[in-house]
Structure 1
């Protein structure tokens, strides 16, 4: 039961994760299908971000829009997507990579440091949280990264290790629980939303396939019509 409560808080804090995880453990089939449909609609809508779209995008969709944009870049060129991302895109996608490592009943933050897909983001993960103003999470990830190195290299666990800070006695269960707690208590989603809006130009696409550009114009016209 405690794990369900923790996950509930975590998902509530990071709204954009609702597009990737079930919103509730016991939601019905119809609700799951609806969530999947909404996911696909938003994925199609935000794969390409036309200049100005984040100014009219609902605030609750801002991080999802930025994330779908980044996911599309990865799908377009998986081998080189990281090199082609700017720092703002890497910031959003790095946080997404952490959240994907926390799926499942026995989720552990350690998975982020072990997964080959996450490796490009490991050296910059502390800076990522600093950039969005989540300083407590940055300190936590610094210690977690060091602890992962200790395990990988079979080093002795030194309580005076400066990189471990206040987390010298933590194991990865502790790190995982603390991460979830900090996400739920430090308003991370709002910080990430504001970060995207402050760096919105970094997420805009200026070379959009004609069919996607046409669809984007039609969607914008529908939105304006609905507002009228």
Structure 2
């Protein structure tokens, strides 16, 4: 199959996101406005609902709390939504320092600091760093647009991006019963399946799909956003 490509964009640069989250910090401090909800509140609610419905499958064998990582957590809205549903072992990671500053400020104001860990880190180098201790693995990793943004970076090689991203997932997902949820507006369902299940280094299989709104054009149907869940094979 021919390798898919997408056009580069300023949305793929760290500078863009640092500037954006500085604006969101200012808005939050001035007006208590947490900022934009990436892909909308409706998808966030569907993602949280899916997680709630699969809690028994996500629960670790030792009966401990479900460990959830929001990979590219932005302003932390998804993490707060999960906390409101009773999830208390939550981690947010973003390469934009201002993003994590905003998340920490909001977590402090909401009184959930003890249930939320945050890291400033680049997902593409995380697998070869010691930022997150070796003992920390996750039952569920969620990406709500982060892979999209990374792929838009004009200075990165797309094939290397995919390889490094998969290496990080492999390093921090529990072996066995663990899951990876991704929402994308840049890649189709078939493209995501191809990237995450058919590469030589793949360790994932398609597990489920969250229904998202469809559009019709020229007799064909598609989705503005695709949301898939993959399970770790081993």
Structure 1 and Structure 2 fold alike (TM over 0.5): no
| TM-score for the superposition, normalised by structure 2 | 0.34
**Greater strand share, 1 or 2?**
2
Of structures 1 and 2, the one with the larger relative CO (CA 8 A, separation 6+) is 1
**Greater helix share, 1 or 2?**
1
If you compute each CA radius of gyration, which structure gives the higher value, 1 or 2? Answer: 1
